[in-house]
Amino acid sequence: MLDKVEALKKEIESFPVSNSDELENFRLEFLSKNGKIQSMFKMIGQVAKEDKAAFGKSMNDLKNLAQDRFDELQSSFASSATAERSAIDDITLTAPLSPVGSLHPLTQTLEEMKSIFYRLGFAISHGPEIEDDFHNFTALNFPPNHPARDEQDTFFVRKSDDPKVDDLVLRTHTSPVQIRLMEKQKPPIRAIMPGRVYRNEAVSPKSYFLFHQVEALYVDENVSVADLKDTLITFAKLMYGNDVKYRLRPGFFPFTEPSLEMDIWWGSKEKGKWLEILGSGMVDPNVFKAAGVDPEKYTGFAWGMGVERIAILKHGIDDIRSFYENDIRFLEQFN
Ligand code: DAH
């Protein structure tokens, strides 16, 4: 029996303890009610009468040994924890700098565009990103088989065979907000309508399946093409400076007649290219009718600008995908 006591003693001395979890294992192994020392105490019945006193004494020594090792380890772990804590509590240490965030370049561009249009007297309006076919296409004078209505260009949310149930789409442009605005507000109307739009396009440096537009609508008596041109040129100058190089070209859209597109020169004087930033035109009378505005009394202009294009020109970005990847090295350049 005394051999067993000796063996347990060695075990207690060599049990590896290097952290407080292991110390708890040590306690369970030796010092707890079901631990090895208590179990061995219970074996006193098997010890010969004359050896009982010696056994009892060596067991007590064993218990003290384990308890001492436990106490010693416990206080050493406690003091290193205090040392750690007091390092944190050192109020003279400089605090780590917290990273500074900034507005996304598209948000910055949009804010700049909005402030220009506020100056020019435009209010702001919003519409839903999930649109019905009527607002996204029909009311905007798209013929029934126009290619934009195709699944190749448009993300459908609901496509119905029942002619009484309208299809639902992710809006392919912000122009449907024009219709919604005219449905709820009588002219004069002068508003911009910024927002996200979606197109079913292959992702490349030049195109992405979502982007942003700023739509505009100005409806009143006697609004003319000259007003449209004047507003667009004023915008280009306020956004890019008085020496901005721009051109207006004829275009075609189902919802405007006549239609114009605006390009801005991208690059240096010698080397560069034209970048289209918007489509625009005089609101087609069919659009006024669909939205409940009298085309005999009112005329109006509208445009849809690409926010990414405006930002690309402002900052010389050459890959549209960088706007959506949230790469901190890209974003940090716009602090
Ligand atoms: N909705 C057109 C597009 O996404 C852009 C556009 C062209 C908007 C002419 C207009 C407009 O309001 O008058 O390509």
Ligand 1 atom nearest to 217, measured from its CA: 12
Residue 96 falls inside a structural domain: no
Average pLDDT for residues 251-275, to the nearest whole number? 94
CA of 173 to the centre of ligand 1 (A): 7
Q: Are 280 and 182 contained in the same domain? A: yes
Whether residues 153 and 111 fall in one domain: yes
Check whether residue 161 and residue 293 sit in a common domain: yes
Task: State the virtual CA torsion across 232, 233, 235, 238 in degrees, nearest 10.
Answer: 180
Domain range enclosing 114: 105-334
Residue 93 lies in a domain: no
Mutate to test the pocket of ligand 1, among 141, 173, 219, 284 (most ligand atoms within 8 A of CB): 173
55 lines ligand 1 (CB under 6 A): no
Same domain, 29 and 161: no
What pLDDT was estimated at residue 186?
Answer: 97
Give the list of residues 6+ apart from residue 173 with CB closer than 8 angstroms, or none.
136, 197, 213, 215, 304
CA angle 115, 121, 126 (to 5 degrees): 70
pLDDT at 130 (0 to 100) = 98
The answer, yes or no, to whether any atom of ligand 1 lies below 6 A from the CB of 253, is yes
Residue 147 is predicted with a pLDDT of 85
Confidence at residue 78, expressed as pLDDT on a 0 to 100 scale: 84
Q: Phi/psi class of residue 169: alpha, beta or left (left: φ > 0; alpha: ψ in -120 to 50)? A: beta
First to last CA, the chain: 78
**Pairwise pLDDT comparison (18 vs 216), residue with the higher score:** 216
Q: Is residue 284 part of a domain?
A: yes
Same domain, 80 and 125: no
Q: Is the pLDDT of residue 252 over 90?
A: yes
If one counts the domains in the chain, the total is 2
Residue 223 lies in a domain: yes
pLDDT one-digit tens code per residue, 180-201: 999 999 999 999 999 999 999 9
Stretch 142-152: mean pLDDT, rounded?
A: 85
The neighbouring-strand residues paired with 215 are 193, 304
Report if residue 97 sits inside a domain: no
Residue at which a domain ends, from 56, 88, 120: 88
Higher pLDDT, residue 90 or 147: 147
Q: Is the pLDDT of residue 86 over 70?
A: no
Tell whether 316 and 167 lie within a shared domain.
yes
pTM for the whole structure: 0.73
CATH code: domain of residue 320: 3.30.930.10
**Does some domain include residue 7?**
yes
170 and 314, same structural domain? yes
Best mean pLDDT range from 12-21, 33-42, 156-165, 184-193: 184-193
Rounded-to-integer distance, Cα 290 and Cα 128, Å: 19
Q: Which of 88, 113, 146 is the last residue of a domain?
A: 88
- Could you identify the atom of ligand 1 that is nearest to the CA of residue 174? 1
- Whether residues 24 and 133 share a domain: the answer is no
Q: Is residue 170 part of a domain?
A: yes
Which atom of ligand 1 sits closest to the CA of residue 215? 12
Same domain, 179 and 251: yes
Measured from the CA of 173, which atom of ligand 1 is nearest? 4
- Per-residue pLDDT at 5 exceeds 90: no
Mean of pLDDT over the chain:
93
| Same domain for 188 and 157 | yes
227 in a structural domain:
yes
In this structure, the answer to whether residues 164 and 131 fall within a common structural domain is: yes
Taking residues 219-227, what's their average pLDDT? 98
Domain termination site, one of 88, 121, 147: 88
Nearest CA to ligand 1 atom 9: 280
Are 275 and 170 members of one domain? yes
Residues 55, 76: Cα–Cα separation, whole Å: 32
